[in-house]
Structure 1
Amino acid sequence: MLGRNACWFIRIFVAVVICSGYSHPVSVTESLTVGLVQEAEEATAVDLGALLDAGDDAVVTLLAARSPVFADMFRSVTLEASSSQLVLSDTEGPVLRQVLAYLYTLQVPELPSMAPKLLVAADVYGLSVLKAHCEQQVVAQLSVETAAAAGVIAIRHSANRLKQAAVAFIKAHLLHVMATQGWAEAVVNDPQTVVELVRLIAETPTDTSTPSAGESRTGPSSQPHSGHSDDGRRPPTAVPPTTPQPDDVVISLLWNLSGKEKGKMLVAAAEEGSVSKVRTLLAAGADVEAMDENHQNALHWAAGLGHVEVVRLLLEEGADVNARDRWRNTPLHQAAWNDDATVVRLLAASFADCNARDDTGNTPLHDAARRGQADAATALLEAGADREVRNYDGDTPLDLAERNNHEWLIDILGSS
């Protein structure tokens, strides 16, 4: 978050004038190397890095002059005049700090571990030179663990140099890359981009040797066939191959993962509440009863967090409605604890045990009473929960409601 006050727009205007006096436009094309870009920019840069820590006013002094995206943001805030603050919620603090440092000094940070995120930020804020440098850093550290994520970033942010390098690397180490956690996460978190990545890998020629002197990559020998034979006659029309649907491609990729890995990802997808991810993982053979280290399965997580549609899908796929975690809690305990009456009713309709006891003897109704969850308690009573059952300390749900001064629940539980 960058502070604003009444004079910030004056500073921006002055900064634009100052920068215009010290620099001239530099044409940057794909044919220029990163080194040439750096050399050109350093020759025209005004290093005002000392201003970076000088206070909120100084932080914005050069942003509009050096980033067209920031310029548009400031212009919008000026026109609306509805806030004295500009919120940048799409970039992590440490990454934004490096972006600001670059804008003030035009010195590219050498932070390999941050390079992928910094590349994304550079693209978001229209910093083409910083983006090119980050591409170089990410390419330099490609490995079987990082290649999938690098390929996804390259496609999503039009980083062509990185895209070519990542595709070539993955193709050369395909089985090793596909066995990594990075590949699995990419497939689940961004399946459409992975489908595009797979297409690029399939289309990349296996023979990637550099052409000899005098040859050109744009010459006839490397171009796709024009559709005409040498004598000018059109060859017979070929039948296009059947292209698998994206979901089919993603599912086939997920089949290569271990059962443990798919189960772990299924639990994470349920926790996230992503119906599409859960459905894809189940189609790829993930065990619907896979558990985390606390023996909580996907249904536990979805029920506890109120992801109704994920709960519905898991139940349709045969999830055990009365599964127990390490504390003997069922998914119904989780839903009652968090006062999700919709999930309570859905679980109860699937024959969840409304009087199941955890390792302290508490039923879901005990949990609702203790937490003051009136909606969940009402839904449990409607489903046939026993209000007279006692836990291992001898307390009924009404006792817990009274002890915690939940007046509304006392009325509900006390009525016959």
Structure 2
Amino acid sequence: MSAAAEVQRTAAVDLGALLDAGDGAVVTLVAGETRLAAHRAVLAARSPVFRAMFQHDTLEASCGEVRMADVGGPVLRQLLSYMYTLQAPQLTDTAPELLAAADRYGLSALKAACEQRVAAQLEVETAAAAAVLAVRHSCPSLTAAAVHFIRASDYKVMATQGWADAMRSCPEHLTEVSRLLSEPPAEASAGRGSSSPSTTTRPLDDPGRSPAAAARHTPPPPDDAAVSRLRSLSQQERGRRLIQAAKQGAAEQLRELLAAGADVAAREEGLGSSWTALHWAAYKGHVAAASCLVGAGAEVDARESLYQGTPLHWAARSGHAGVVRLLVGSSADLNARDRWGQTPLHWAAKWGQAEAAAELLVAGADGGARDGKGRTPLDLARQNRKQQLVDMLTQR
């Protein structure tokens, strides 16, 4: 229901009820040291939460006092003012807290007004908190605005203290925000922004999906006939096909080959190096294929022989944040060293891969790690004129 519709529906509380209510018409709302008197009839008319509270045999209904531990004093005053006047207060710094309170007490029009105010106040340092707030309280328009802002700021938000704080305090909500950032813009803004499952089509085996979504889109079991045919091939041929399927991101073929006994540790030799299927999936950015391989037991810290890079090195070098997130979540070594002592973050910084670098930093990669020549990721970003990475690593 729109804000205007709600105002029309509830504009006239039956003020006669205030006269007829008699004893107990007034209750005291308590938030910390703040105590405010209010009429039950007004609270019940505006908020379904208060209505249910007063209609049943609750402690609040019997004692005439409602303690609101989840609301601060200033926010309580604004909340109560709105319930009496249906006029949103002049919101400033309390907009995020008032939005949360409006959501808890079922005041949809006030919540919508707060969404607009928070979206208008987005800044690099506060965008992470705003995005988490939007996801937690199912605010589609604010979620879309925050995701767009983070992208438009070249992902500098992901290198702020605000992002790090959100990672510590609200990891499940920030994971949802990160997943939205990894989607194409059209998908991320098409009705996303709530913590409820989405109907947006996503690739099978995408590790960023919620458990409910994963259950709805569980991949079908491998085709028995195809598996039977693949079993007739030599182990070498199955390994060759596994590598090829990883290059192409063909997750269904990977499942069939693995079910037929293909060795998940098979390697492709060439150009002086030796790559596993997971190296190829990481380098190409195939999240579903990488997820399939990791699920089958692929070694996440396997080294290719030329540069001694892990799959995480190659995902970072190519800027595939989704694969970086998958590998980090699968306990890949964030600070693994290649032949020259460089970490995945060194590789991301050298090649200017901001999203991948941000994922690594958020996960706890060592921004001050030095390679064999004493250079940090910041040094490599400066040396290669990757200004976006220079800004990100300097802020960090």
Q: Determine which structure has the larger strand proportion and give its number.
A: 2
Higher relative contact order (CA 8 A, sep 6+): 2
- TM-score of the alignment, normalized to the shorter chain, above 0.5: no
Q: Which of 1 and 2 has greater Rg?
A: 1
> TM-score, normalised to structure 1's length?
0.41
